[in-house]
Amino acid sequence: MTGQTLYLDDALYHYLQGVSLRETPLLARLRAETQALPEARWQVAPEQGQLLALLIRLIGARRVIEVGTFTGYSALCMAQAMDGGHLLCCDLPGDYNATAQRYWQEAGVAECIELRLGPALQTLATLDAESFDLIFIDADKANYPRYLEEALRVLRPGGLVVFDNTLWSGRVLQVVPDSEDTRAIQALNAALKDDLRVDLSLLPLGDGLTLCRKR
């Protein structure tokens, strides 16, 4: 179909990375260490991390939230782009928390990152309205619709909420959803299409990356 997004085979994907990815040696090392973990599939693609950094710079974000931090790769991408400010990372306790903090310390950004452990919805509920510039959500998919409402509450007008995994490895096409996670992502995507509170773009990047600008 003319004008349709181009399919990326392995060769074209490697070309894309070769001509555009500016991953630092530290980020590359963290990504390699993460790939050795059983939960490696939770890792964002490096080009997603680079886009998050670009978005931070484009809107001059100084107060940022990440919901779902894992080993800290995307947080490190964003913190290095913020040049100060405050990045609040929400996650559950796990062995990977120490990995994230070790790399943040090595990168010299640990002082601007707050890692708050516990249910993210509870953390978000404690935050002031319209007090953040950008929120990246890459956590429990079943709560994506609820994260949207909290994100729109705490974001300033013109702020961005970014959802990962919104194509969900193609499972969004299932007529009968195979899980609560699939059902929640389908519901989020359908709701955002008609949500006039935001400007919207779903990018075929990684496993699907949805950008929403609060009007």
* Helix extents (H) in the chain: 10-20, 25-35, 46-59, 73-82, 96-107, 120-125, 144-154, 180-193
pLDDT in tens, the chain (215 residues): 568 999 999 999 999 999 999 999 999 999 999 999 999 999 999 999 999 999 999 999 999 999 999 999 999 999 999 988 999 999 999 999 999 999 999 999 999 999 999 999 999 999 999 999 999 999 999 999 999 999 999 999 999 999 999 999 999 999 999 999 999 999 999 999 999 999 999 999 999 999 999 99
Distances (CA, A) of 101 to 10, 30, 112, 200: 32, 11, 12, 33
The per-residue pLDDT for 2 is 63
Q: Which domains does the chain have, with CATH numbers?
A: 10-214 (3.40.50.150)
The per-residue pLDDT for 3 is 84
The per-residue pLDDT for 160 is 99
